[in-house]
Chain A
């Protein structure tokens, strides 16, 4: 599966790694919903590190749609919340 980290690029991640990624992803969502900023920052970094660790980076010129997308490492909880709101990532 191809995962994009916004602002960084894409990684091909084998399905076998998804159990761990899923766990972190769910944690991230829960922290976002409860407004736990510290927890959100910590989990986001852990999730991104995990993708970078277990994934193989895709060439920059490769044109592959990403199946999963992760916020950029410096994204704040509010930004991610805004991204997931009705307006989405691209306004309009």
Chain B
């Protein structure tokens, strides 16, 4: 098939693989890998447990066989004591067969023990490897997350830089508006000062009132200046004036007395 269907399928697969590569999160892959390792470790541990169970079963069988062997030995001894050599021979021959089984089981037991030790060691090594992998995985994940965050920050920054243009425009607009308001306020002040515009607050004065204020303000200043000049120039005069004042007061008192006598 070489038509549209096949060609689309091929292109789609090639592109989909690329897309998947891009979409793949290494953290998930690491977690998956760790999970797989844990499963493997679990299998090895299960293997160790199985071997240990078999070893224990063998030990039980060995114990049973050895107790049977002891029992047969006792029976043989008793048979001999009772003069039954035939029975004693039978017991001993059975015991010999049991002993053979015991020897075989002991060999198996040793083999199993060796296997168990090997598996335990392997499990320990694997455990160490899995632990090390977990640490490494977490480190990689943290690094990846940090890198991703950094990328996001970078992206955010580029986004901000784009937005900055808008902010700049907003500032420009605000500045324009402020300048416009200031200009308007200045114009209003001028209009209020000239009396062309009534101040609703009543604070502003028309030009005539302002001029009167200016003149009267100037007059006050002139008067004040003259008074101060007089004070500075005539320190003694002032004293005399004070003393003279006292005398006149006395005169006035005398006069009053005189008037009093006159009345009398």
Chain A interface residues toward B at CB < 8 A:
3, 18, 21-22, 25-26, 28-29, 32, 65-71, 80, 83-84, 88-90, 92
- A26 and B3 contact, CB distance less than 8 A: yes
Query: Would you list which residues of chain B between 1 and 28 have a CB under 8 Å from chain A?
Result: 1-9, 11-16, 18-19, 22
Q: Which residue of A lies closest to B16 (CB)?
A: A90
Chain A's interface: helix, strand, loop or mixed, by majority?
mixed
Q: Chain B interface: which size bin?
A: 10 to 19
Residues of chain B contacted by A71 (CB below 8 angstroms): 4, 8
Q: What 14 additional pairs, Cβ within 8 angstroms, besides A26-B2, A67-B9? A: A3-B5, A29-B2, A29-B7, A32-B4, A66-B12, A68-B9, A69-B9, A70-B5, A84-B7, A88-B11, A88-B14, A90-B16, A92-B15, A92-B22
Q: In chain B between 146 and 166, which residues have their CB closer than 8 angstroms to a CB of chain A?
A: none
Q: Which residues of B contact A89 (CB under 8 A)?
A: 8, 11-12, 15
25 residue pairs A–B, Cβ–Cβ below 8 Å: A18-B1, A22-B3, A25-B4, A25-B5, A28-B3, A29-B2, A29-B3, A29-B4, A32-B4, A65-B13, A66-B12, A68-B1, A68-B6, A68-B8, A68-B9, A69-B8, A70-B4, A83-B11, A84-B4, A84-B7, A84-B11, A88-B12, A89-B8, A90-B16, A90-B18
CA distance in complex: A32, B15 (Å): 22
Measured between C-beta atoms, what is the minimum distance from A21 to chain B in Å?
8
- Neighbour of B18 across the interface among A21, A25, A70, A92, CB < 8 A: A92
CA–CA, A25 and B15, complex, Å: 22
B5 with A69: CB separation less than 8 A? yes
Q: How far is the CB of B2 from chain A (nearest CB, A)?
A: 8
Chain B residue contacts of A70, Cβ below 8 A: 4-5, 8
Q: Which of B7, B8, B15, B18 has the most CB of A within 10 A?
A: B8
B116 CB to nearest chain A CB (Å): 42
Distance in Å: Cβ of A7 to nearest Cβ of chain B: 13
How far, in angstroms, from A45 to B6 measured CA to CA in the complex? 17
Q: Give the CA-CA distance A28 to B8 in the complex, in Å.
A: 13
CA distance A35 to B188 in the complex (A): 75
